Structure 1
Amino acid sequence: MTIRTLLADDEAVVRAGVRAILAVVPEIEVVAEAGDGRQAIDLAQRLRPDVALLDIQMPGVDGLTATTEIVRTVPGTSVLVLTTFGNDLRIARAFGGGACGFLLKAGDPRELITAVHAAADGAAYLSPAVARRVLTKLGGAGRMARIAAAHDRIAALTGREREVLALLGAGMSNGEIARRLHVVEGTVKTHVSTILTRLGVRNRVQAALVAYEAGLVEETP
């Protein structure tokens, strides 16, 4: 299956770099490029790509606004947000915007490819580096309170649901989780739906953050 991808960044050199990384994967096709958020929204609505890769900081309509609008008007398109270490608080704000993943522009190219595959498969992808950075930025006493709250929230989950949440937090798709746990994919979908409800979160990325804060996901260096 071809993963039709939209790429949006106001820097042509960044778009060229991302496009070159994705070009080595036969099943990923960049179908359009945008230099700002407004153009990204228009292209997403017209072309309905499987995945949209959006820079979080663009002139005019920024990546946060574009993410929210694309998720609202093109529900079949999964949005991945590209960011830098300087945008931590914007990342934190974007968790509620419906993006299915966050990764660093300067990160490992393999992360980008993994994230696109995960997004196309309906999974969340939260770069470990981004997760650590955001949780640290929001740290201090508030961090300790969130860790305690996360442990309280996962207490409502069954053992199997915690296993699913941990794998979800590690960026696995429903299919990958099903194979890991030796169950059918429909069972995983049911578990994920129940997990989101019991945790009181809107999407898989927010659930992934809970998994990180509760210590269910092993952080890689």
Structure 2
Amino acid sequence: MISVLLADDQHLVRAGFRSLLRRDREIQVVGEASTGDEAVRTARELRPDVILMDIRMPGMDGIAATRAVLAELPETRVIILTTFETDEYVFAALAAGASGFLTKEVGPDGLRHAVRVVAAGDALLSPSVTRRVVGQFAHRPVAAAPGGDRLAVLTDREREVVRLVAAGLSNEEIARELVISPLTAKTHITRAIAKLGVRDRVQLVIVAFEDGLAGPLS
């Protein structure tokens, strides 16, 4: 059973999400919060698998709440929900450690799929959003990797796969590029995530760019 916490300042939004998620027998809404501070306190108490977190809430916003929750509960996955799909919000949410980003116009199937994806440890990040994240990094100075080249632990093939992930390619596109199966591409990504000690595909992209493996998109 996947436990979910709903964090949104609008009661009707929470009620709507609760109703949609209730239709999946493997998903259980265990709690609700109407502010960022309440989301942090409730997450600490309930330790949910997934939090659907609104970006705009009174007091502590969803970005700060995400950062606070993940500092205490690194195994919890956060999906950021917002009405506005802007580059600023996408970047801020992912940099805070969120594993997914959805607009509130998402359909019932899309919402339940998102919860399942992030609960399984994957990132809910489409190739188009990946490209936008990399585009944000293109305007930032490359940070020196602490303790040396973090990517040195990867094999040559894993480095190549990570480079393509950071370029915004899907598993299927990576498979075609390298003439391998999508399952093999996914295996390389999973191993790279484990070796680098990052949370998911999103953080893999960030490490790749910060360590100079990914460059600005043409």
Q: Same fold (TM over 0.5)?
A: yes
Secondary structure at 2:4 match in 1: strand
Paired residue for 2:201?
A: 204
CA deviation map 1:119-148 (0-9, x unaligned):
111111114665577678x59x959x99xx
Secondary structure at 1:126 match in 2: coil
> Structure 1 residues 27, 96: CA separation in 2 closer, same or farther (over 3 Å shift)?
same
CA deviation map 1:89-144 (0-9, x unaligned):
132122221111111111233222222112111111114665577678x59x959x
Once residues 4 and 184 of structure 1 are traced to their aligned partners in structure 2, the CA distance between those partners, rounded to angstroms, is 26
Paired residue for 1:63?
A: 62
> Structure 2: 5+ residue runs without aligned partners?
143-150, 173-180
Which residue of the other structure, out of 180, 183, 192, is the alignment partner of 1:181?
183
**Displacement of 1:63:** 0.2
Paired residue for 1:50?
A: 49
For 2:202, give the aligned amino acid. V
Once residues 17 and 213 of structure 1 are traced to their aligned partners in structure 2, the CA distance between those partners, rounded to angstroms, is 41
For 1:43, give the aligned amino acid. T
Work out whether 1:193 is the aligned partner of 2:190.
no
Once residues 49 and 205 of structure 2 are traced to their aligned partners in structure 1, the CA distance between those partners, rounded to angstroms, is 21
Q: How many residues align?
A: 193
Paired residue for 2:98?
A: 99
> Structure 1: 5+ residue runs without aligned partners?
147-153, 173-178, 216-221
Secondary structure at 1:125 match in 2: coil
Secondary structure at 1:7 match in 2: strand
- Percent identity over the alignment is 40
Once residues 102 and 207 of structure 1 are traced to their aligned partners in structure 2, the CA distance between those partners, rounded to angstroms, is 16
Q: TM-score normalized by structure 2?
A: 0.69
